[in-house]
Amino acid sequence: MGITFSARRLCAALAFTGALATGAATPAAAATQITAVMQSDIRVLDPIITTAYITRNFGYMIFDTLLGTDVQGKIHPQMLEKWDVSADGKTYTFTLRPGLKWHDGAPVTAADCVMSIKRWAAQDKMGQIMTQLMTDMKPIDAEHFSMSFSAPTDLAIRALAKTSGVPPFMMPERIARTPPTEAIKEYIGSGPFKMVTAEFKPGVQIVFEKNQDYVPRAEPPSGTAGGKVVNVDRVKWVTMPDPMTAVNALASGEIDYMEQVPYDMLPLLENQPDVKLAVLDPTGNQTVMRMNFLNPPFDNKLVRQAAMYAVDQQEVLQALVGNPKYYRTCPAIFGCGMPFESDAGADVTVKGNIEKAKALLKEAHYDPKTQPVVILQPTDLGTVKAQPIVIAQALRKAGFNVKLEAMDWQTLVSRRASMAPLDKGGWNIFSTNNVMADVIDPLRAFGVAANGKGAWFGWPDVPAIEKLRMQFALSGNPDEQRKLAAEIQQLVIDEGVLLPMGQFTVPTGYRSTLSHPVNGPISVFWGIIKSAK
């Protein structure tokens, strides 16, 4: 079937880009700017209080991390010059590299880092386990700080190199003192870009300028490691809720970069000579379903199992992606093709079984008249729009009473944090995607944490999982770690903590005037060179 541009949408694109030209003040003509449409609008700007990827991306623009991880998964110093380990393996001493400055000109100190780690660890599931094992953390002087543990472990290095979900971004001490349950009010980091606060318009744009004081590392960039060399003066993220508008704007050159091109719109760009399409993160994403343990009917384990049996990965991936080139079914909680791949629980996770789901609902005495299931459905983010619809259809076939509630992604990000009952704005199911960097082991995979109200949204309480995760944290034996990971996966599936719904990759579109994008799980704007048209 032929595909043509929509005249109405093209007009919308031209109108939008005309608005860009007449809106906020623009830089001098000589300045180089990348204009990008990211995966969604951004309203939450504190990367410690949310796992939303758009906020994580924002974090990497203005903040920096002590350690980085390259595309091969190897850990490197980033803000650090080095680290040293005591003979008993229990104490780590960290040395900051010289010349680090915050955006306000103040030097970065060890005290800043200690407070930043404390705030991050209170929110992050890997950080929480690290804190349980930690006996002391303190600044030694302005350039050095130490962390001590109750047993020999390299968990500090693994945790501080965490690239996604909630990365351990460093902030000035005064900002990091903000309670981890409250959003920060200043956006001052030490990263390669500065936020242009005066030009921030929620729902419209957010603007960054090159941090002239940033001193990149000497190594080539790879993932979140290496030299963060900024080759442009400004980066502007603009909001275009209609993806066709964004595709048209990319084709016409009104924008330079589109983080996620919808699969059904790829043919519109494949033959455009001035547009490149590339999968910048070949490890891809995992899409998952999450149930709320606090609200009926999913406070019942049998009902959670029924919902999991009802969903078929192939149906989800066909609706989400369509083209098998970009997806694969996968039973592994910690990723197919990853170090801790397992097929434990595959009979539940891959192929739907409606009859089994019906039998479990009958056994659980589920009453569809009194126990509706509220599924949150984002309408403005292409990579999470389809899953709720497929889930709803599957659950209805099994006998659930399903209510889809439509909203934009940023509203969903706020709504899923509510522990309220259904009649007061609560929820039962949402779906989302995790980059593979977030799920490669039982500690980084924040969705498998099961420590009740300290867990990720949905708040499962399964002490046996937490016990195994602690054993994993203390183990330095790869064979033992693989065994523990498989046991954790089986428990996660049995208890209905998380349902993996397959893996997929997402193409990025960018103008041919851009070159040298950095491969990895994060959309970063250092390294990119923009040439004249």
Q: What is the pLDDT of residue 52?
A: 86
Q: What is the pLDDT of residue 391?
A: 98
Burial 350-359 (b: 16+ CB within 10 A, else e): bebbbebbbe
- The separation between CA 142 and the C-alpha centre of its own chain, rounded to angstroms, equals 32
Q: How far apart are CA 470 and CA 442, in angstroms?
A: 9
For 463, the token pair is 């002490």
Cβ contact 255:509 at 8 Å: no
- H or E segment and range at residue 370: none
Closest alpha carbon to 206 in 239, 232, 228: 239
Closest alpha carbon to 510 in 35, 80, 108: 35
> What are the pLDDT tens digits along the chain (533 aa)?
333 333 333 333 333 334 343 334 444 445 899 999 998 889 899 999 988 889 999 999 999 999 999 888 899 999 999 999 999 999 999 999 999 999 999 999 999 999 999 999 999 989 999 999 999 999 999 999 999 999 999 999 999 999 988 999 999 999 999 999 899 999 999 999 999 999 999 989 999 999 999 999 999 999 999 999 999 999 999 999 889 999 999 999 999 999 999 999 999 999 999 999 999 998 899 999 999 999 999 999 999 999 999 999 999 999 999 999 999 999 999 999 888 999 999 999 999 999 999 999 999 999 999 999 999 999 988 889 999 999 999 999 999 999 999 999 889 989 999 999 999 999 999 999 998 888 989 998 989 999 999 899 999 999 999 999 999 998 888 999 999 999 999 999 999 999 999 999 999 999 999 999 999 889 999 999 999 86
Cβ contact 65:224 at 8 Å: yes
Q: Residue 32 is which amino acid?
A: T
* DSSP annotation of 152: -
Residue 420: what are its φ and ψ, rounded to 5°?
-70, 155
Handedness of CA 106, 524, 115, 182 (dihedral sign): positive
Q: What is the pLDDT of residue 280?
A: 93
Q: Residue 198 is which amino acid?
A: A
Q: How far apart are CA 373 and CA 395, in angstroms?
A: 9
Asked whether the whole model's pTM tops 0.95, one would answer no
336: left (phi over 0), alpha (psi -120 to 50) or beta: beta
Q: What is the pLDDT of residue 29?
A: 46
Task: Compute how many other C-beta atoms are within 10 angstroms of the C-beta atom of residue 70.
Answer: 19
> What's the residue count for the chain?
533
Closest alpha carbon to 394 in 328, 296, 322, 309: 309
Q: What is the pLDDT of residue 30?
A: 58
Instruction: Domains for the chain: give ranges and CATH numbers.
Output: 285-504 (3.10.105.10)
CA torsion, points 56, 59, 61, 64, in degrees to nearest 10?
-120
Q: How many CA atoms lie within 13 A of 323 on its CB side?
A: 11
Q: What is the pLDDT of residue 496?
A: 98
- Pair type for strands 169-170 and 205-210: unpaired
Residue 175: what are its φ and ψ, rounded to 5°?
-80, -40
Cβ contact 454:127 at 8 Å: no
Name residue, tokens 């004249």: 532
Q: How far apart are CA 261 and CA 277, in angstroms?
A: 9
Across the beta sheet with 508-511, what order do the strands follow? 193-195, 205-210, 234-238, 33-37, 257-258, 508-511, 275-278
> Helix, strand, or coil here: 432?
strand
Q: What is the pLDDT of residue 6?
A: 36
Close Cβ partners of 2 (under 8 Å, ≥ 6 residues apart): none
Q: What is the pLDDT of residue 3?
A: 35
